[in-house]
Structure 1
Amino acid sequence: MATRKQAPSSPTEQEGDKPADPLFNQSLEKGLAVLRAFDASHRTLTLGELAELTGMTKGSAQRTVHTLQVLGYVGKHPRTRRFQLLPRAMEIGANYLVGHPLVQVSHPYLAQLTHASGETANVTEPVGQDMLYLAQLTTSKHIPVFTPVGMRIPMYCSSCGRAYLSTLPDEQVRQILEASQRAARTQYTLTDVDAIVEQVRQCRQVGYATNCEELFLGDMGLAAPLVDRQGQPVGALHLSPPTSRWTMEDARKKLAPMLIESARAISSTIAF
């Protein structure tokens, strides 16, 4: 059964709690909250469910959803009559990706890395305490977990998150980790801050970070940090070898060198 989302606190619904910025548009805030309420666990929603997930009153949710319907971002499922996103909602995210310099620069290297490794190669960037999938080239072989572009995964238990954290000072790393919920996603997930910091420090020494079934069972990760020409961290490049084809020892020996080389090549061409 899908876990219900926590209704976010909303300045539009809290009496006496108004944004200090006089230019802040609360109607736009509500519209974006409705669009973000839909996800893999909530492909379709009723008006009441939307109101609950966004922290709005039912009347406010109704006006917001109606506006999004008129604009073509939300519609009703033809059979269930529940609300769902329409293809036009893709335009917002697609426009971000099309113009992203990291996506443009990394594409040829992703192709080379996927061909050389035989495994799925990904580029991610930090968003809060998560890493966001920006680009991906998948292998033709079986993959146990589908992680599409646009998906977010937590830093603390992912190889790409640890690779990105390795570019930051320890104090900042700890702040990010302590602000994360650090739930045990599997029986192998590291949740102790000191243990995760040690993994980050190891990445600084060898040039790449690892994750073995900490995020998804059957899935491993090896990642190297990406920095721009000024040395500022911008994201991570990572491979997703499944445990059905690789041991971590073999992945370290065969995949890590080509991963590091590709990450360095991408970093040398990034000019934000």
Structure 2
Amino acid sequence: MSSANPRPELPPDHDPLFVQAIGRGMQVMQAFSGSDRPLSLAEIAARAGITRSAAQRVVHTLRRMGYLRSTAEGRGFLPDLKILDLTYDYLRLNPLLRRASPALLELRRNVRERVDLSLFDGQRMVYAARMQSKREMYFATLVGNTVPTFCTSGGWAVMAMLPDDQVDHLLAQADLRPLTPRTLTDPDAIRQQVRLARETGHALALEQILMGEIALGVAIPDAEGRPVAAIHVAGSLAEWEPEEFRRRVAPLASETARAIISA
């Protein structure tokens, strides 16, 4: 359930340090965000907001460098293996993820449910570590999958560490479309969840992303106290009563967050 990113706006031409050609290349790579199939050259051009001829040159260059490939039928293009090299470098060089890994493994052993760590990126939470349970859908196993900040336990926990004016700005800019029949889309109802997270130190979300799922989130701040990430623990409502899940998981998740902060 990866949410498509809006097309990035390139800086104005008078920015002397910005390399337009590299910007177009990144726009082409971002064209695949949210797509569930290969893209044709025309589709890449439209999604990237560039001309077909520019897309053709960029796609050719990225293919030669190993970042794109054509399908076996030759009817479209897909990201290629070298993208994973960049992903690996990001993950191994991220100090927060290095510190978090052993603590998340210990949390997973203790709760025996899915444990994720997501990074706060404005309107979305980006999964950077995923430790699975016995039942998962394919998208829920992928690093890099994103979910909206406004309707996730980790997002509510992150917003609880922000000033009210920043919370209001996030909600004003959010695409408040529901992902399930129970997704909260009323800004006041979301603010109430944020207030509860401030009081308890964690957020509890019921069926906000998936029907039948319960998730508890705890935010992780940086050295200046700004929220940068969140731990999520997710279980099934078929196996857990909400308050039982909270009592079992909240202390362990909070302890894990403290261990990551102090590592």
TM-score, normalising length: structure 1 = 0.89
Distance 1:5 1:157, change over 3 A: closer
Q: Give 1:39 deviation, angstroms.
A: 3.8
Are the aligned partners of 1:121 and 1:138 in contact in 2 as well (CA < 8 Å)? yes
2:35 counterpart residue number: 41
Equivalent position amino acid for 1:61 in 2: A
Are the aligned partners of 2:130 and 2:141 in contact in 1 as well (CA < 8 Å)? no
Q: Give 1:153 deviation, angstroms.
A: 1.1
1:66 counterpart residue number: 60
Q: For residues 222 and 92 of structure 1, what CA distance do their matches in structure 2 show?
A: 30
Equivalent position amino acid for 1:137 in 2: M
Q: Give 1:247 deviation, angstroms.
A: 2.4
Give the secondary structure class of the aligned counterpart of 2:140. coil
Equivalent position amino acid for 1:29 in 2: G
The count of corresponding residues between Structure 1 and Structure 2 is: 262
2:167 counterpart residue number: 173
Q: Give 1:163 deviation, angstroms.
A: 0.7
Q: Once the two structures are superposed, what CA deviation does each residue of 1:43-102 show, in whole Å capped at 9, x if it has no partner?
A: 311111111111111111111111111111111111343111110112222211111011
Q: Identify unmatched segments of 5+ residues in structure 1.
A: 12-16
Stretch deviating more after TM superposition (104-113 or 30-39): 30-39
Q: Give 1:216 deviation, angstroms.
A: 1.8
Q: For residues 33 and 26 of structure 2, what CA distance do their matches in structure 1 show?
A: 13
Does residue 127 (structure 1) correspond to residue 121 (structure 2)? The answer is yes
Give the secondary structure class of the aligned counterpart of 1:191. coil
Are the aligned partners of 1:226 and 1:235 in contact in 2 as well (CA < 8 Å)? yes
TM-score, normalising length: structure 2 = 0.92
2:222 counterpart residue number: 228
2:232 counterpart residue number: 238
Q: For residues 102 and 95 of structure 1, what CA distance do their matches in structure 2 show?
A: 14
Note the aligned Cα RMSD (angstroms).
2.3
Does residue 143 (structure 1) correspond to residue 136 (structure 2)? The answer is yes
Are the aligned partners of 1:143 and 1:242 in contact in 2 as well (CA < 8 Å)? no
Equivalent position amino acid for 1:178 in 2: A
**Which structure carries more relative contact order (alpha carbon 8 Å, separation 6+)?**
2
Give the secondary structure class of the aligned counterpart of 1:164. helix
1:26 counterpart residue number: 20
Q: For residues 158 and 170 of structure 1, what CA distance do their matches in structure 2 show?
A: 18
2:191 counterpart residue number: 197
1:267 counterpart residue number: 261
Q: Identify unmatched segments of 5+ residues in structure 2.
A: none
